[in-house]
Amino acid sequence: MERCLVAISGTGVKENDFAICYEKLASQNCCPKIIIFYSDYEDLWYYAKQFKEKFADATSIGCSTCINFCTEGYSEKGLSAMAIYSGVECSCGLVYEVSRHPKNYSQHIRDALKSLTTTDNTCCVEFTTSGFRCEELVLDTFEEILKDTNIQVAGSTAGSNIDEKTSAVALNGDIYIETAAFIFIHNLEGKIQLYRENLFRPTSHQLRITDVDCEEQRVYEFENKSAAQVLCNLLKVEKKDLLKTLKINPIGRIEGDNILISEAKEVMEDDSIIYYTRLYNMTRVVLLEMDHFESVWDETARHMKKLLPKPSFSIAVHCISRFFLIKQEGKFDDFTNRLCSMLGKYIGVSGYGEQIMFNNLNQSMVLICFE
């Protein structure tokens, strides 16, 4: 029996797409332990219901996505699913009211944690609905409970083929909005490794945020000067072209040796800039520029080979902006082929943000790899 199977179908007819994926996942003639799945927003409810009916004893978790990509290919519509049959134990739960009071549901995380036999070789995979500026609140909730454990946290802000405010998560047959769905996965057969990949490199331009509305994710000033004007001057562009330019020249928060990317969402009339991540006063950032994709992917492959030479299966997380960037360069086939060669069987989600440990990112890729 294979430990893991992956299936994808993009006909755009939900009944057909589920039937194609189900036929493959049911070929083991046993119920999976875990099913992870991604789909169009409109049909997520149908797939969640069907997986619960067909694999009643499995823990099924997923979210809406902008695009499906996995070992079997990629599609801009339909369903992708991964079934894990052996070598894991898991527990799961939901955190509600993510934009307001996620900490009110901390006990849900604690209860799921208690049901594990150990926290060794364990990760927490979480999917959070988009459009609520809630990722940092959710991550703070997980950090409060998990910071003294050795559990690694990673996940995605759910995507959508409609707009950034319309997404959903799924758990055990039902779908939810303004909610985070999570699953603890304990690997009984080896390690779990997380990795973050950036397609951008630092320039020489470092700045400090000097005026910000954290809750609105709105930066008013860099170095005590209007945010938009500072970036227009550095990038030598007019304000009307700034947002487009920032898609290939985002800022990165500097945290030790790490560069954590924040993508600009909107340039406002008053020269402030709204971002997709929460930013804080006096944070140091660096202006970024595109790196050579092939060099970055070669380095990722080398690093992953050191971390985990023979992964059994993996989960890849990146965002819609990164997908469009790679696609515009004509390199998405190369990208997915390279993932196949280094991740074992994998499934990928394309959302509106990535999370690794307790950091919320944009325009990056997060890998969760199981030995």
pLDDT, position 311: 96
Write the DSSP symbol of residue 362.
Answer: S
- Please write the tens of the pLDDT for every residue from 143-176: 999 999 999 999 999 999 888 889 999 999 999 9
Closest CA to 338 of 289, 305, 363, 291: 305
**What does pLDDT average to over the chain?**
96
pLDDT, position 115: 94
d(CA 331, CA 327): 6
Place of tokens 């945010």: 227
Provide the β-strand partners of residue 315: 347, 368
E strand or H helix at 285, and its extent?
Answer: strand 284-290
Residue 11: CB atoms within 10 A of its CB come to 14
Per-residue confidence band for 104, with pLDDT thresholds at 50, 70 and 90: very high
- Please write the tens of the pLDDT for every residue from 39-60: 999 999 999 999 999 999 999 9
All residues at 6 or more sequence positions from 315 whose CB lies less than 8 Å from its CB, including other chains? 36, 82, 125, 154, 346, 347, 348, 349, 367, 368
pLDDT, mean of residues 220-235: 98
Write the DSSP symbol of residue 26.
Answer: G
d(CA 57, CA 32): 8
pLDDT, mean of residues 11-25: 97
pLDDT, mean of residues 97-110: 96
| Stated length of the chain | 371
pLDDT, position 308: 94
pLDDT, position 85: 98
pLDDT, mean of residues 339-353: 95
Expressed in angstroms, the distance from the first to the final Cα of the chain is: 17
Cα dihedral 222, 359, 160, 298 sign:
positive
> Exposure pattern of 74-84 as b/e (b: 16+ CB <10 Å)?
bbbbbbbbbbb
Strands (E), 142-281: 152-157, 169-171, 174-176, 179-187, 192-198, 200-213, 218-222, 225-226, 251-255, 258-262, 264-267, 273-275
Cα dihedral 48, 70, 152, 254 sign:
negative
Backbone angles phi, psi at 190, to 5 degrees: 150, -160
All residues at 6 or more sequence positions from 246 whose CB lies less than 8 Å from its CB, including other chains? 231, 235, 263, 264, 267, 273
All residues at 6 or more sequence positions from 34 whose CB lies less than 8 Å from its CB, including other chains? 58, 59, 60, 61, 83, 84, 88, 90, 183, 185
d(CA 81, CA 70): 9
| pLDDT-above-90 percentage for the chain | 96
C-alpha separations of 94 from 27, 178, 248, 357 in Å: 30, 10, 35, 18
pLDDT, position 291: 97
In the chain, where does DSSP find H-type helix? 14-25, 44-54, 106-114, 135-146, 227-235, 242-246, 293-307, 320-328, 332-343
pLDDT, position 316: 98
pLDDT, mean of residues 82-90: 98
Q: Token pair of 126, please?
A: 């979480």
Q: Are 61 and 127 in contact (CB under 8 A)?
A: yes
- Give the DSSP letter string of 117-150: S--TTEEEEEEE-SSSS-HHHHHHHHHHHHTTS-
- Give the DSSP letter string of 69-128: EETTEEESSSEEEEEE-SSEEEEEEEEE-TTT-GGGGHHHHHHHHHTSS--TTEEEEEEE
d(CA 149, CA 119): 7
- Please write the tens of the pLDDT for every residue from 288-330: 999 999 999 999 999 999 999 999 999 999 999 999 999 999 9
